[in-house]
Chains A and B, each alone.
Chain A
């Protein structure tokens, strides 16, 4: 399979009071063409920052990429200038955000907002561009598209706004769509509509999707492969069936066990004790060790390296690394 995006040892840091704080501490994963990759983890683990780093959206913050590489269609994005990035954003990779209300311009009509990326990236005349807007709105299932273009975002419901965001992202046929918690702010029945729509569009266009979510249900329904993040690193990567069937990393096990499942009678949920560590005060060794039920002496001293388990599976855990070593010894 052809790789569309390869993120390698990506490090992103922020500067506060002259102190550098590394939030992404070596994130590695890849997305194949036409594949949906889920990026999961709890709040503060760096999922959203990973997507912003790929798009290099750091304006107005002290954020910068301080190491690693992002290879998109064979080109390294980390060295691209803002000008070059602008040609890529919206055209080759596009993004949908969590809160559709705050990511649409409240004083611009829907049609005008949709015209922006089209005018910027596609060589269409005024009339063709307007037709394209209507076409794309119909594609995402907006009723009365011809009228909606003259309305403002506040006149639409949450689900409709998210459809507009998807239409905007899809308008220039991107090869990579980054969806950051696209359904978290929506009710379940509306979430079902939006997930259906994203699946259908993804299949029709053969595009690759990076789906960022904390909802393992959404992951199970949507994704081909999954990368699990904890404290600024990917700790496990696997195809979706392997991940849910036999999670390897104790954190992944804990996450899957924490989710109540309909139809599964369980008196007690497994929970992960404690909290996500503070990035300015990271524990030594494996960052999950203080919460891990299986932690060994080495876990508190040294951070484990990713171990390749074959079949596209990867896991960073001393239990596995040690186990592997024993096999070869």
Chain B
């Protein structure tokens, strides 16, 4: 039985939107009762459309944000309400890779300094030792020693993402949270980075929380998947089950929306009507009922419970399951 590295339970986060002269303060429930676990050495992906709370969930787990409610267990330790001063040890175990490789690297620092910064903060290694580790790490991510003394602007998007990965890996973390790491890249570069992430996972036994809106990328990289809609996970389970036998109407619609790069497979799609409702004022009952093609009366009033689906680790929150 593989060890569970990350376990989150009933995680919630709400933000308060500032009121104006006439407007009242409003609360935005970005993440609402999210629970899942990730086993050591596997990849769990959160998918959903913009504004569904997937990035907020990632930021809560890395404790860049503090949850309003709920538990986060990493490697047997509960960290949801730890203070900044106590988080240093956690930060060694959890590292992030960000979406925009142009905005997430300091333009005034040399690559060597960028990658070595975690070492400066977390270790007492000498400069020579740090440089040695940086060179090693550059090799690992497919760059070379002579890249180390350049600045971020001298690199292309794909190379910058490699630098971001090197920075995340230098502390030998256990969990990597990758928030849309390939969305800003061209397809040919995207595949280079996806291949690299897979190789690194095998080499260092890494655990990934992969956040993405792109279902084809998610299918390629994940072991398990959680589909998010307006702050809740509507369906979760092993990749094969989700992709071959989705049960939630939203998962079905999402899967059928993805354009397939094969002209012989043009098919009838489930096209959802309307737009994503605002999370400030989410619909009553099931949050998806306003766009759901299979909406029933009960969906408008009662929030569906999470039920077991087709496998032990397949869960669906939908009244159709009753």
Binding site for B on A (CB under 8 A): 42-43, 157, 159-160, 187-193, 195-196, 214-221, 223, 240-241, 244, 254-263, 266-273, 275-276
Give the residue name and chain of the A residue nearest to B188 (CB): A272
Q: How far is the CA of A259 from the CA of B263 in the complex (A)?
A: 14
Given A192-B271, A262-B255, A275-B189, A240 and B263 contact (CB-CB distance below 8 Å):
yes
Contact between chains at A260 and B262 (CB < 8 Å): no
Do most interface residues of chain B lie in helix, strand or loop, or is the interface mixed? helix
Binding site for A on B (CB under 8 A): 49-50, 156, 158-159, 186-192, 194-195, 198, 213, 215-217, 219-220, 243, 253-266, 269, 271-273, 275-276
For A221, what are the chain B residues with a Cβ–Cβ distance below 8 Å? 259-260, 263, 266
Closest chain A CB from B264 CB (angstroms): 7
9 tightest A-B CB contacts, nearest first: A217-B259, A260-B220, A269-B191, A258-B191, A272-B188, A187-B49, A192-B257, A271-B191, A42-B186
For B260, what are the chain A residues with a Cβ–Cβ distance below 8 Å? 217, 220-221, 261-262
Closest chain A CB from B147 CB (angstroms): 14
Given A188-B257, A275-B156, A254 and B243 contact (CB-CB distance below 8 Å):
no
Contact between chains at B261 and A256 (CB < 8 Å): yes
Q: How far is the CA of A186 from the CA of B216 in the complex (A)?
A: 16
Give the residue name and chain of the A residue nearest to B244 (CB): A263
Q: How far is the CA of A192 from the CA of B190 in the complex (A)?
A: 23
For B261, what are the chain A residues with a Cβ–Cβ distance below 8 Å? 216-217, 219-220, 244, 256, 259, 261
Given A42-B186, A42-B187, A256-B261, A193 and B272 contact (CB-CB distance below 8 Å):
yes
Given A193-B272, A258-B188, A269-B220, A187 and B50 contact (CB-CB distance below 8 Å):
yes
Contact between chains at B194 and A260 (CB < 8 Å): yes
Contact between chains at A260 and B217 (CB < 8 Å): yes
Closest chain B CB from A197 CB (angstroms): 9
Contact between chains at B191 and A189 (CB < 8 Å): no
Closest chain A CB from B293 CB (angstroms): 12
Closest chain B CB from A5 CB (angstroms): 22
Q: How far is the CA of A157 from the CA of B51 in the complex (A)?
A: 12
For A268, what are the chain B residues with a Cβ–Cβ distance below 8 Å? 195, 198
Write 24 A-B pairs (CB below 8 A) sorted by A numbering: A42-B187, A42-B189, A187-B213, A188-B254, A192-B259, A193-B271, A193-B272, A217-B216, A217-B259, A219-B261, A220-B266, A223-B263, A241-B264, A255-B187, A259-B191, A259-B216, A262-B215, A262-B216, A262-B260, A263-B219, A271-B188, A271-B191, A272-B192, A273-B192
Contact between chains at A255 and B50 (CB < 8 Å): no
Contact between chains at A196 and B271 (CB < 8 Å): yes
Q: How far is the CA of A214 from the CA of B187 in the complex (A)?
A: 8
Closest chain B CB from A203 CB (angstroms): 13
Residue among B189, B213, B272 facing the most chain A CB atoms (10 A cut-off): B189
